[in-house]
Amino acid sequence: MPVVRMLQHVVGQMLLQGPACGCRTSALPARFLGTSRWHIPADANFHSASLSETDQPRVLITGGLGQLGVGLANFLRKRFGKDNVILSDIRKPPDHIFHSGPCIYSDILDYKNLREIVVNNRITWLFHYSALLSAVGEANVSLAKAVNITGLHNILDVAAEHSLRLFVPSTIGAFGPTSPRNPTPDLCIQRPRTIYGVSKVHAELMGEYYYYRYGLDFRCLRYPGIISADSQPGGGTTDYAVQIFHDAVKNGKFECNLKPSTRLPMMYIDDCLRATLEVMEAPAESLSMRTYNISAMSFTPEELAQEVLKHIPEFQITYNVDSVRQAIADSWPVSLDDSNARKDWGWKHDFDLPELVTTMLNFHGSDTRVAQAN
């Protein structure tokens, strides 16, 4: 105990004086030294498993029961083994998810809980998916600030403390009406007008800061609207492009809450998950930046409906525009420039609009109608 206190004093003096050589210091934030009133005890024993100590990464996914978490867990378990990928959330998982692999309770607002999970399970990779999305966040700004910002700070600190490789997804929502929209480059002005977008810009900048300041291996992709077959919409502005398939197969009609001409970047979930793993596995020296755009296709509700009609001739779409979601969509990019991702780590998408629609409709049980149309 006296030794730890002496080290704390020495490091504190170093932080006050700065390094004698004038170079960048990689000292950890104060909470890592046990000075926080509610985080790490002063006699903590710091040790975490590096990837070289294990055959496979030990993975934790936060916010695991959202649109992307379950799919990512299944994808990574095929690669790294079922027991090496832990899905976590504050909600109780359905039976089929609970029995598919390790599932635990994790509250990102509880730093002690996070730290115990990382230590007890010897986590080496962390995928942070806990967030309130755009439309939901606007309806509950206070909760969005807590989850998207305070929760992120806990994740950054525990990742830095234990030398984790950290992935935090960003979004097209990180851009705003003053950003170039067609195409939107990796580096440009970012002035989003939603709490979701603001929190994602904050995440990008904080992750980059922790990389330069503390050596945290932070990696981030700006996702377009993600379309997945086996999950329900999660409150995002681009969710119409998921709901349309549920309604088309079930009812033969769909009411869209965006204008028919609203063009937004989109991606099928298989491409999204593959891109996420590829950037996590990319050699550090190949990454020229910490946050990348990725893109696949851009389309409007009208164009999507026309493609669905090729498979379900009786399908009908109507429009009942939600002013809040429309304003959000109008501030977002029309397309993303992902040339840096393609150059640096070989990103390439597989699904365009026709393949996307066929895959989604096949999944939702319209095989017979697809065959008849073909």
Catalytic residue among 105, 111, 129, 196: 196
Reduced DSSP (H G I as helix, E B as strand, rest coil) percent helix, strand, coil of the chain, to 5: 45, 15, 40
Q: How many helices (H) and strands (E) does the chain have?
A: 15, 13
Annotated catalytic residue 209: no
Q: Tell me the C-alpha to C-alpha distance, in Å, between residue 107 and each of 110, 111, 115, 152, 200.
A: 5, 8, 11, 11, 19
The upper half-sphere exposure of residue 258, i.e. CA atoms within 13 Å in the direction of its Cβ, equals 28
Beta sheet of 225-227, edge-to-edge order: 225-227, 264-268, 297-299
| Helix ranges, 18-128 (H) | 69-80, 95-98, 111-120
Extended beta strands in the chain, E state:
59-62, 85-89, 103-105, 125-128, 165-167, 170-171, 217-223, 225-227, 253-256, 264-268, 291-293, 297-299, 316-319
Rounded Cα distance between 14 and 10, Å, is 6
Residues labelled as active-site residues:
196
